[in-house]
Structure 1
Amino acid sequence: MLRALLFAVFLLFSSPLWAQFTIQGRVTDAETGDPIAFANVILKGTTTGITTDFEGNYLIQSRTLSDSLQVSYLGYITQSKPLLNQPDQTINFQLRPTSFELEAFVFEAGENPAFEIIRRASERRKDFDKRSLNAYETKNYTKIEIDIDNLSEDFRQRKSVQKVTSVLDSIQELTNDEGEKILPVFFSETVSKFYYRNNPELRKEVIEKSKVSGVGITDGSTTSQITGSVFQEYNFYKNWLSILNKDFISPIADGWKTFYDYDLLDSVLVGQDTCYKLTVYPRREQDLAFSGTIWIKKDDYSLKQVDLTIPKTANLNFVDRIKIQQELEPSSAGPLIPSKTRVLIKIAQVTDDTAGLLAKFYTATDSVVVNDPKATSFFNQAVELKPDFGDSDANFWVENRPDPLSSEELAVLQMVDTLKRIPIIRFYSEGLKFFATGYKMIGKVDIGPWPGFFNYNDVESVRLGMGVRTNYKFSKKWELKGYLAYGFGDETWKYSGSVTRILDRNRWTTIQAYSNKEIDQVGLEIANLQSNSVFLAASRFGTLRSPYLSTNHGINIQREFFKGFLVKAGMNSGQFDPLYNFYYLEKDTREYKSSFETAEIRLGIRYGRDEIIIINDNERASLGSLKWPIFEVNYTKGMQWLGGDMEYSKLSFYVYQRINMGLLGVGRYELDAGKIFGEVPYPILKNHLGNETVFYTTAAFNTMNFTEFTSDQYFSIRYRHAFEGFLLNSIPLIKRLKWRAVGNANVLWGSVENYNVENVPAVDPEGNPLNTFGRLDFGKPYLELGYGIENIFKFFRVDFFHRMTYLDNPGAKPFQVKISAQFIL
């Protein structure tokens, strides 16, 4: 009897009526191969379904089947696939993006119900912002992949590319379901510890292990510093998020109602939390704002997860799509820490016969510790590499990856390693690096810089030069540099050489000895224009203005005592030999003198409270500050007892800051003030930088002539503003062109003491008139105002400048047009 009963029960539960069907799979983006998190997967014609997890995986268990499985998600074309009548089956989906457009929502009475949810979420931002913690630290795993995509047939048929595509075609995993190919060029994995401290606000990342593979990558140490999580941090509890150096407004920012509309879609269960599911989209299609979906917890109005994109219509160049997905978890103290973040940036083709670019970033966070702040001295270096950061075996990555690498990612690694060995790829990658840095690496030395290989001007006629410097392969403690050039017109050799010893890389400490002999121009000295290569090159070709042969020998030392606080000191012996008709009256004898020697001691301080610095091979490189200004104070003392011809002192003060103004765009200001004490020839004074070229530059006063004004005490404010899409986005025809308005305001106060005026004779010893310098009246500032348009054809900028004062000066032009080319997003 019992046996018969058990048999009957077995038959009952094994019949189709009670059968358990399991359907699983993964939903990915057909263009990028990235997983699509939070997509809706449903048995078509039923209410049985689920959403995909952060990795795009789903698992449905049902007692019944329909004829097909349907996947849908906002911004993608809905797709269905047939089901088989079998208990277990795996079905993967590749969804294609579509234009994200929402119809207008009309509410007949009352407020949009989504507004109250967003209002409460915005009001509680400080409760959940991780920056409100005294401190926190996390262990992070970061993965970055960069691919070339949109490989057009014209691009594939290029002779230089065919060797690459033949290898690409042999790797099936790099082909999506539609047969489109991607060409991987970079892949990295990084395990790091991230530390944050409040009051003062400090950040640091310690790279514990890093594995970098990329075309053109020679030294992993520099790359590893920017592949960690510190540069992939996205906090939606901030009003503005910086992405690709552009500022995007958060959907729960203080001014949310100015930028966004919302729609309350549903109330859903996410894990153990009941959440409001809302769609967000910009009020103005060209604003730098997000579209997509956010989930807000019902019980406390905190963010649970986000899936947001930046629409194509946003006022950005070259960017086809930016997508951010993030899951957040509460810390033990309450504020939220992102547990997983995925960012995709798709760069469009510049022209139809070129390729696009695809960058993927993934960060997983665990081992969170809160409110245990490190000492401020711990944060001295923003990014620190552990001594053995590059030494790791396969077992380490297996143990530290949150998820195993997919078959596609393994194929990416294989392809990158293959590409590095193809000669044509090496040729192009090294060529691009040579153009960008100016140097070509050959073993332990670099040859360059290429702009110094050839010059032509009225003093030297044809000039040929060549330089060499050692690189990190030679030594990470010593750097040697040398440059030699010959002018066929003046038949004179020019040279420069330096030896630098790096004493401490943590508290950046170096000592350098140098010697050089070069042609400079009064007010256009090379040392002041190194960061403005186009303007420098334009000013050094053709006719040189007030040229002189400058010879210098000296020693410099610098040390960073704590984060952002760098102290510099040095001694310099220099000689000024004019190559134009120049004389001054010697202070005591009032005799005519042409050349002079200087002997100087120099001291300087630089402070950037939140400036991000990385070590680029054997040099420091600044990635700018986050929100605080950067200060510099410099003092120079010229002394006769060290061999100089005169006694003097120079004191200068400089401040720079970038200011995010939200809807109004981004402003940048520079304050520059100084005072020179003592009677000196005017080349030692402050010769304010003018601009007689047709090119716009931020380093100069763009309506001032070269050497038009000189001062021994001065104060200037230079302000420039990029309105981004503000103003022009409201004009129907202009907004389609994506032009952006810019503005400039430059003011200069200055004067010269009488004794420095009187030491410049009106004529030379033969009675020929001499050029004298122009002076400013401190009560009447020099003022120029500018406005213009950037992003013309995505590359060009035109500025219109009006000179408002000193219009009676010889050669003064009240109105000038300046042009420039720039690569901006």
Structure 2
Amino acid sequence: MVKFCVSLLIFCCFGTARAQNSSTENQETQKDSIKKNFFLKQIGNGYFPTKYFNFDLRYLVKYNQFEGLRTGLGGVTNKTFSEKFRINSYLVYGFRDHAYKYSIGGGARLSKNTNTWLNLSYTDDLQETGSSNFLTDTRFFQFFEPRLLNIDLFHKHITKTLALEHQLHPQVSSVAQFSVSNVEPTYNYQYVLDGDIYSKFHLSTAKIAFQWSPLETSEKISKEKKESFPKFTLQYTKSIKDVFKSDFNFSKLDFKTIHRIAHKNKNLSEVTVVAGVAGGNTPLTHLYHAYPNNINKETILQRFSVAGITSFETMFFNEFFSDKFTTVQFKHFLKPFNISQRYKPQLVLITRYAIGDMKNPERHQNIIFGSLKKGYTESGFEINKLLFGFGLSFTYRYGAYHLPSIGDNVALKFTFNVTL
């Protein structure tokens, strides 16, 4: 009887120890899995996380026609460093223009409940002429940004910025910003106004932007689930003459909406509408293009490059500029072809339309461009993820801006899609 009791006691202790070891192993496995998922998510967002500082992968390697190879380092402090303060900066170098560009900034959190931040920054860098950015846009990262390879029209700017971020509602985010900039085009450009000629200029601008996501909830934000659609963004910009030696008075109103519809057959439709109007004395640097992505070369093979995500693939760079424009893009993603567990290419049908106009094109000297007032149309398809994330894109230009040579209306390109 004593032997039986001793044996039972040993068995129970051994079983308990095994259970504790198994529980500990499971907890360690779960922790490792959480750490791995967090790391992959950070990499997918374009950050390499360390204890106090997250390196920004956007600044590592880029290429464009003006700077050539552009490389450097940048990043932002994380919550381990502080939940109330943050510091963000970058330093890059262009090997073709032999120039450093940099930015240094920081922010202080004024309210946790409304995610209110007051931010300051000083930036000395380049910006693509005619590009429009929304202050409320969420961070977007691609391992490879195809449009950058072919951009050649940039302007230098030294900009001092003061901005306030504020979550008005779980569905509404807002940003207000005031900035003072010295702007100098890198190309031969002059803006003529009332007999005065400007080859570089000073601007003081105030901006306010709102983004409304009607299906967003506090629960989705806190759990960091997938984005909700539709999204509506409205932004107003005002340049004020004589404030901090600003040269021009002008205003801009920009709008964007994105909506995605998931179908029962696992197809997905996406519609993107972008519109903008500029009034007053606006230099070309702050007007609009329609995100063209076609190189100015003779043959289809010479123009063979990589397709963008929201760009017009058959529209040549610097072909059109507008002071008012609207673009509509429709994409229909068919259910991926289930060839094997790992090999699932996907067909995407695409149609794009742009319309715009320019009120005083004669003010913009030493640069030739056209108008979009007749309406620009292109359609095509992509077959994505054929091999190592690469696919193929075919787009055809037709309608009012169809060109005499058939080959000039065709864009054949790679696509590149990687999902972590």
TM-score in terms of structure 1 length: 0.42
Match of 2:312 among 687, 698, 701: 701
The change in CA–CA distance for 1:513 and 1:656 in structure 2 (over 3 A counts) is same
What is the aligned partner in structure 2 of residue 265 from structure 1? none
**Distance in structure 2 (CA, Å) of the matches to 1:814 and 1:534:** 29
SS of 1:614's partner is helix
What is the aligned partner in structure 1 of residue 259 from structure 2? 657
Equivalent residues in 2 for 1:413-492, closer than 5 Å: 413-415=27-29, 435-446=43-54, 448-454=55-61, 459-460=66-67, 463-487=70-94, 489-492=96-99
In 1, are the aligned partners of 2:230 and 2:257 still within 8 Å (CA)?
Answer: yes
The change in CA–CA distance for 1:622 and 1:680 in structure 2 (over 3 A counts) is farther
SS of 1:609's partner is coil
Letter of the aligned partner of 1:607 in structure 2?
A: W
In 2, are the aligned partners of 1:689 and 1:701 still within 8 Å (CA)?
Answer: yes
The change in CA–CA distance for 1:530 and 1:772 in structure 2 (over 3 A counts) is farther
**1:675-716 deviation digits (Å, cap 9, x = unpaired):** 111132222111221113722222211221222211111122
In 1, are the aligned partners of 2:330 and 2:351 still within 8 Å (CA)?
Answer: yes
The change in CA–CA distance for 1:714 and 1:484 in structure 2 (over 3 A counts) is same
**1:251-304 deviation digits (Å, cap 9, x = unpaired):** xxxxxxxxxxxxxxxxxxxxxxxxxxxxxxxxxxxxxxxxxxxxxxxxxxxxxx
Equivalent residues in 2 for 1:681-700, closer than 5 Å: 681-692=283-294, 694-700=305-311
What is the aligned partner in structure 1 of residue 370 from structure 2? 774
What is the aligned partner in structure 1 of residue 380 from structure 2? 786
What is the aligned partner in structure 2 of residue 141 from structure 1? none
The change in CA–CA distance for 1:807 and 1:529 in structure 2 (over 3 A counts) is farther
**Distance in structure 1 (CA, Å) of the matches to 2:323 and 2:164:** 27
The change in CA–CA distance for 1:551 and 1:533 in structure 2 (over 3 A counts) is farther
Equivalent residues in 2 for 1:377-396, closer than 5 Å: none
Query: Are 1:635 and 2:236 an aligned pair?
Result: yes
Query: Are 1:600 and 2:194 an aligned pair?
Result: no
Could you say which structure has the larger radius of gyration?
Answer: 1
Structure with bigger RCO (C-alpha 8 Å, 6+ apart): 2
Equivalent residues in 2 for 1:49-448, closer than 5 Å: 410-415=24-29, 435-446=43-54, 448=55
CA shift for structure 1 position 432? 5.9
CA shift for structure 1 position 662? 2.4
CA shift for structure 1 position 719? 0.8
**Distance in structure 2 (CA, Å) of the matches to 1:582 and 1:498:** 31
CA shift for structure 1 position 717? 1.1
CA shift for structure 1 position 782? 0.5
What is the aligned partner in structure 2 of residue 306 from structure 1? none
Which sections of structure 2, spanning at least 5 residues, go unmatched?
1-17, 295-303
Query: Are 1:611 and 2:205 an aligned pair?
Result: no
SS of 1:659's partner is strand
What is the aligned partner in structure 2 of residue 800 from structure 1? 394
What is the aligned partner in structure 2 of residue 623 from structure 1? 226
Letter of the aligned partner of 2:211 in structure 1?
A: R
Identity, % of aligned positions: 22
SS of 1:412's partner is helix
In 2, are the aligned partners of 1:745 and 1:785 still within 8 Å (CA)?
Answer: yes
In 2, are the aligned partners of 1:688 and 1:707 still within 8 Å (CA)?
Answer: no
Query: Are 1:677 and 2:279 an aligned pair?
Result: yes
Query: Are 1:557 and 2:171 an aligned pair?
Result: no
Which stretch shows the higher mean deviation, 744-753 or 674-683? 674-683
What is the aligned partner in structure 1 of residue 321 from structure 2? 710
SS of 2:265's partner is helix
In 2, are the aligned partners of 1:634 and 1:652 still within 8 Å (CA)?
Answer: yes
**Distance in structure 2 (CA, Å) of the matches to 1:561 and 1:435:** 29
**1:401-425 deviation digits (Å, cap 9, x = unpaired):** xxxx9986553224556x69xxxxx
Match of 1:746 among 352, 370, 392: 352
What is the aligned partner in structure 2 of residue 817 from structure 1? 412
In 1, are the aligned partners of 2:89 and 2:104 still within 8 Å (CA)?
Answer: yes
**Distance in structure 2 (CA, Å) of the matches to 1:529 and 1:607:** 12
Cα RMSD after superposing both structures: 3.7
SS of 1:686's partner is coil
CA shift for structure 1 position 813? 2.6
CA shift for structure 1 position 792? 3.1
In 1, are the aligned partners of 2:155 and 2:285 still within 8 Å (CA)?
Answer: no
In 2, are the aligned partners of 1:520 and 1:526 still within 8 Å (CA)?
Answer: no
The change in CA–CA distance for 1:476 and 1:666 in structure 2 (over 3 A counts) is same
Letter of the aligned partner of 2:27 in structure 1?
A: L
**Distance in structure 2 (CA, Å) of the matches to 1:810 and 1:499:** 52
**Distance in structure 2 (CA, Å) of the matches to 1:677 and 1:759:** 14
**Distance in structure 2 (CA, Å) of the matches to 1:669 and 1:459:** 33
**Distance in structure 1 (CA, Å) of the matches to 2:92 and 2:388:** 38
**Distance in structure 2 (CA, Å) of the matches to 1:641 and 1:595:** 16
**1:467-491 deviation digits (Å, cap 9, x = unpaired):** 2422111110111112123445544
CA shift for structure 1 position 783? 0.5
CA shift for structure 1 position 439? 3.9
**1:555-574 deviation digits (Å, cap 9, x = unpaired):** 11122222211222111112
CA shift for structure 1 position 500? 1.1
In 2, are the aligned partners of 1:611 and 1:622 still within 8 Å (CA)?
Answer: no
Letter of the aligned partner of 2:318 in structure 1?
A: T
SS of 2:292's partner is coil
**Distance in structure 2 (CA, Å) of the matches to 1:629 and 1:433:** 23
SS of 1:691's partner is strand
In 1, are the aligned partners of 2:131 and 2:287 still within 8 Å (CA)?
Answer: no
The change in CA–CA distance for 1:724 and 1:464 in structure 2 (over 3 A counts) is closer
In 2, are the aligned partners of 1:746 and 1:783 still within 8 Å (CA)?
Answer: yes
Letter of the aligned partner of 1:746 in structure 2?
A: R
**Distance in structure 2 (CA, Å) of the matches to 1:462 and 1:786:** 31
Letter of the aligned partner of 1:467 in structure 2?
A: G
**Distance in structure 1 (CA, Å) of the matches to 2:64 and 2:333:** 36
What is the aligned partner in structure 1 of residue 103 from structure 2? 496
**Distance in structure 2 (CA, Å) of the matches to 1:518 and 1:445:** 23
**Distance in structure 2 (CA, Å) of the matches to 1:529 and 1:521:** 19
Query: Are 1:580 and 2:184 an aligned pair?
Result: no
**Distance in structure 2 (CA, Å) of the matches to 1:500 and 1:810:** 53
The change in CA–CA distance for 1:518 and 1:738 in structure 2 (over 3 A counts) is closer
- Aligned pair count? 388
The change in CA–CA distance for 1:615 and 1:484 in structure 2 (over 3 A counts) is farther
In 2, are the aligned partners of 1:523 and 1:707 still within 8 Å (CA)?
Answer: no
**1:13-59 deviation digits (Å, cap 9, x = unpaired):** xxxxxxxxxxxxxxxxxxxxxxxxxxxxxxxxxxxxxxxxxxxxxxx
**1:567-616 deviation digits (Å, cap 9, x = unpaired):** 2211111222122211121x22x233211121111111111112255369
TM-score in terms of structure 2 length: 0.79
In 2, are the aligned partners of 1:563 and 1:609 still within 8 Å (CA)?
Answer: no
**Distance in structure 1 (CA, Å) of the matches to 2:63 and 2:272:** 33
**Distance in structure 2 (CA, Å) of the matches to 1:516 and 1:565:** 28
Letter of the aligned partner of 1:817 in structure 2?
A: L
In 2, are the aligned partners of 1:704 and 1:812 still within 8 Å (CA)?
Answer: no
Letter of the aligned partner of 1:682 in structure 2?
A: L
CA shift for structure 1 position 508? 2.1
**Distance in structure 1 (CA, Å) of the matches to 2:406 and 2:248:** 33
In 2, are the aligned partners of 1:495 and 1:516 still within 8 Å (CA)?
Answer: yes
CA shift for structure 1 position 667? 0.5
What is the aligned partner in structure 2 of residue 533 from structure 1? 142
